[in-house]
């Protein structure tokens, strides 16, 4: 197996692990009963959006890993955002802690920015792949804050 293929496996496994953990915490009746803003997207949208984003996140991590001068910093940001990303769903849906989930998602957002800033010059494709992720997490942050405020 080539080294490049092995890189894809590690970053793909990391993204898949976060996705799988999130899948253990379905929104359910508790979430359905919460007050939500009018701009809350339909539930069916989240699965396809996150699937595409996790693929992009894995590709971006792999590309950053292959850039020796930024490898350590970029991978640190990548792992940090992935761990925090994986923590948000259990915090929000599992523990039902809306405000602590805001703190977690804010930390995810910060780590995404850190990854983009770290990779933008040497590995711009990795930074670009994180652009839609940043946009979605920005939207999700506003949604999390709105739901927390309304409940």
2-60 pLDDT, tens digit each: 456 677 778 877 888 788 877 777 888 899 999 999 999 999 999 899 999 999 999 99
Ramachandran angles phi, psi of 23, nearest 5°: -65, -15
Long-range Cβ contacts of 103-111 (<8 Å, 24+ apart): 105/137, 105/140, 105/141, 105/144, 106/141, 108/81, 108/84, 108/137, 109/134, 109/137, 109/138, 109/141, 111/77, 111/80, 111/81, 111/84
Q: Where are the beta strands (DSSP E) in 26-142?
A: none
Looking at residue 5, its pLDDT comes to 63
Q: Is 1 helix (H, G, I), strand (E, B) or coil?
A: coil
- Radius of gyration of the chain from Cα atoms? 16
Rounded to whole angstroms, the Cα distance separating 27 from 41 reads 13
| pLDDT tens profile 84-106 | 999 999 999 999 999 999 999 99
Domain boundaries along the sequence of the chain: 3-150
**CATH of range 3-150; options 1.10.10.10, 1.20.1260.100, 3.40.50.10490, 3.50.50.60:** 1.20.1260.100
Looking at residue 1, its pLDDT comes to 44
Token representation of residue 29: 């009746």
Looking at residue 150, its pLDDT comes to 97
What's the pTM value of the predicted model, to 2 decimals? Answer: 0.91
């Amino acid at each position: 197996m080539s080294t490049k293929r092995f890189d894809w496996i590690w970053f793909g496994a990391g993204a898949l692990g976060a996705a799988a953990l999130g899948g253990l915490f379905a929104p359910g009746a508790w979430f359905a009963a919460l007050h939500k803003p009018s701009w809350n997207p339909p539930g069916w949208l989240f699965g396809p959006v996150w699937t595409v984003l996790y693929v992009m996140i894995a590709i971006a991590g792999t590309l950053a890993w292959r850039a020796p001068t930024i490898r350590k910093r970029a991978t640190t940001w990548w792992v940090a955002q992935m761990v925090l990303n994986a923590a948000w769903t259990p915090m929000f849906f599992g523990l039902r802690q809306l405000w602590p989930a805001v703190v977690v998602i804010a930390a995810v957002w910060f780590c995404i920015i850190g990854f983009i800033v770290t990779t933008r010059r040497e590995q711009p494709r990795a930074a670009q792949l994180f652009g839609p992720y940043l946009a979605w997490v920005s939207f999700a942050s506003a949604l999390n804050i709105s739901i927390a405020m309304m409940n």
